[in-house]
Structures are given as C-alpha cells and as structure tokens.
Structure 1
Amino acid sequence: MRRAPTAVSQVGTAREKALSELDPLTVTKLWDNPCWLSFRLNFVAFRFNDPVYRWIETRYGLVRPEFVALYAVGLRDGVAAKNIVASSGLPKNTLSRAIQRLLQRRLLRRETDPEDLRSFVLYLTGPGRAIFEETMPLMIQQQTAMLSALTDAEQRQLCELMDKLVIASPTWPNDLEKEGTAS
C-alpha cells in the first residue's frame, strides 16, 4: 500500500500531541491510505463547506447549489450558466434548477448575452448582491481560521500547488469505466 508522503521535519512533540487528539481512523486515512490526496482534499473541503453552507441555508434559505450559483455570479457578473457548471463540478440540471429558483426569488437576473444573442448571462440583483456581501466576511473568516496552521509562505505554496491541480484537471478522466479501469 502506498503511504502518504510525509516531511521528516514535521515529526515532533507538537505533532505527536495533535495526532493523539485525532480520531484513530482519521490518522489511518492520513498515513495508511493509498488515496491520501482525495482524503485530504475532501476532509478540508468538508470542514470549510459544511458550516458555511449550513449557516447560509439557515440564514438565507439557500441550499448549496443555489449559493454556488449566487457566489459565482457575485465573483463575476455577466457569467453564463455553462461557466458556473464548468467551475463548480455540479451537474448541469442541478445548477439549472438552482438558477431558476434564484431568478424566481429575484436574487439573480438574466439578460441576453451581447456576444451570443442565443445565450443568456446572469447578474446579481440588489438583494442578491447583499447576500453575497454579507456572506463573504464569514467565508473569509473560516478560510483564515483554517489557514492559520500555515505560514504566509506555506499558504502561497499551497495556493500555487492547488492552482496546478485545477489547471491540470481537464486532462483527468471523467468516466473511469471509459478509461478502461473497470474490471
């Protein structure tokens, strides 16, 4: 079994104490796991997403796909639904329903794309912008708390490494059976 790579310099009393406070299965998944990358990415993402999306749903009545769409448009007004699908990893039909609900709630508005008159682009309305602006500090606070274990240089390095993975993602298989991995 391939173990997760570890840095020898990380071994120390503080690390040993931290490990003793983790669930034993979490420790196993960290160091005795052939899919170490998937575990780490999912664990960290869940620890960010779960409290954030629960708070947003409770406060604004928006489920995750709805907020994913609202957040995307908040980052870049005038974006098409297909771009939200491509950047979120959520299925097209899920995001389509989410966008319809946001349009019905008047948190988004749809306009004809001036560059392609057959397509539509999305914009935040005033209430949609207010939700986006109100959620950002909480999300930044959660991210800051999570990144506080890293130095500024480590945070930059992590960002650069994650950038490389995202940029390489179009080359990854989308369907494992088509790639010949099914038995």
Structure 2
Amino acid sequence: MRRAPTSPSRVDPEREAALADLDPLTVTKLWDNPCWLSFRLNFIAFRFNDPVYRWIETRYGLVRPEFVALYAVGLKEGVAAKNIVASSGLPKNTLSRAVQKLLQRRLLKRETDPADLRSYVLHLTPAGRNIFDETMGPMIQHQATMLAGLSGDEQRQLCVLMDKLVIASPNWPQELQPEPHKTTGDLS
C-alpha cells in the first residue's frame, strides 16, 4: 500500500515515539492509507466537534443540528435557512427541524427578507445571542489547544493550505464516477 506523503519517516524517532501513543488502527488509517487526507481531516474534526457538541448538549440542551444553525446565525445575522444548509452539509429536512426547535425555544426569530419579500431570514434573540457568546470562549480555547503543537508560521501556513482546498472544492465532483470493472474475459 502507498504511504501518505507525510507519513512518518523511520529515521524520525520522535515522530515514531509519538505514534506509539495512538491506537494501531488509527495509525494505519491516518498514515498507511492512500486516502490519508480525508481520514486525517475527519480525525481532527471529530477531536474538535465531539467534546464541543457533547458539552453544548449537556449545558444548553441543543443537539448538533440545532447548534449548527444557531452558530451560523450568530456568525452572520440575517441568513436564510438555505444558506445554513449550503454551508453545513446538513440535510434540508434536518436543518428545518432544528430551526423550528430554535424558533420554539425563542433562540431564533424569523423575519421577512427585505431583499426578497417571499423569503425569510433568521436572527438570534437575546437568549440565542447569550448562548452563542457563552460558547465562543471555550470553542476558541479548544481550537487553540489543538493548534498548540504548531508554531505561528505553521498555523498561518495551515490556514493558507486549507483556504486553497476550500476554494477549490466547488470544482470537485459531487458524485463518484468509478471506472467500470473489467471482467476476466474482457480483452480491451
């Protein structure tokens, strides 16, 4: 199997020692895997998201889709639900239920979109703003802890590289188009 371009070198004992603390399957999935990028991104995202969403659900009674919607509106007041769907990857029906619960709990309010009177936009209520503001500090600190292993220059470089991937993402296929399997009798 092809190793990832950034797989640990056998001559780098410090990295090898650090990998010894990880589960062997995790090491395999993250380093001995031709799809290393997606597995590493998912691994890092999970390490951020899991404790954050568990804490938010325990403290505020908000499940992940609800907080995703609240957080999106906190970042940009006056967005439509369709914008949250596009930016979050959540299914439209899941987000719709989440927004309805946030409206019922009076954490969000819906107003007519001044740019399109047939549409609605979402805003935080004062209670919703309080939750958004209270969650920002711990989330920023959690991110800082995760980034502490990188120098300032490395953090900026990571940000630039992630920017490039995000900007290129509209050009990625939305569905896989695997090559057809050749049968053993196929000579072409």
TM-score, with structure 1 as normaliser: 0.93
Q: In 2, distance between residues paired with 1:151 and 1:76?
A: 30
- Runs of 4+ aligned structure 1 residues displaced above 6 Å come to 7-10
Unpaired runs of 5+ in structure 2? Answer: 182-188
Aligned residue in 2 for 1:175: 175
Q: CA deviation at 1:15?
A: 1.5
Deviations 1:78-122 (A, max 9, x none): 011111111111111111110010001000000000001111110
Q: Which residue of 2 aligns with 1:123?
A: 123
In the alignment, which residue of structure 2 is the partner of 1:58? 58
Specify whether residues 15 and 83 from structure 1 end up closer, same or farther in structure 2 by C-alpha distance, changes over 3 A only. Answer: same
Distance 2:180 2:106 in 1: 45
Distance 1:106 1:85 in 2: 21
Residue 133 of structure 1 aligns with an amino acid whose one-letter code is D
Moved more, 167-176 or 146-155: 167-176
SS class of match (1:121): strand
Partner of 1:90: 90
Which runs of no fewer than 5 residues in structure 1 stay unpaired?
none
Partners of 1:11 and 1:115 in 2: CA distance: 60
Distance in 2 (CA, whole Å) between partners of 1:48 and 1:167 is: 22
- Specify whether residues 53 and 38 from structure 1 end up closer, same or farther in structure 2 by C-alpha distance, changes over 3 A only: same
Q: What pairs with 1:1-183 in structure 2 (closer than 5 Å)?
A: 1-6=1-6, 12-176=12-176, 179-181=177-179
2:8–2:16 CA contact under 8 A, matched in 1: no
Secondary structure, aligned partner of 1:118: strand
**Which of the two has greater helix per residue?**
1
What is the CA RMSD across the aligned residues, in angstroms?
A: 1.8
The percent identity for this pair of structures is: 77
- SS in structure 1 of the partner of residue 20 of structure 2: helix
What's the CA shift for 1:26? 1.3
Matched residue type, 1:2: R
Give the TM-score normalised by structure 2: 0.90
**C-alpha distance in 2 between matches for 1:21 and 1:43:** 15
Q: 1:95 to 1:57 in 2, by over 3 A?
A: same
Distance 1:63 1:163 in 2: 28
Distance 1:54 1:30 in 2: 25
Structure 1 or 2, whichever has the larger Rg, is 2
Instruction: Report the secondary structure of 2:90's partner residue.
Output: coil
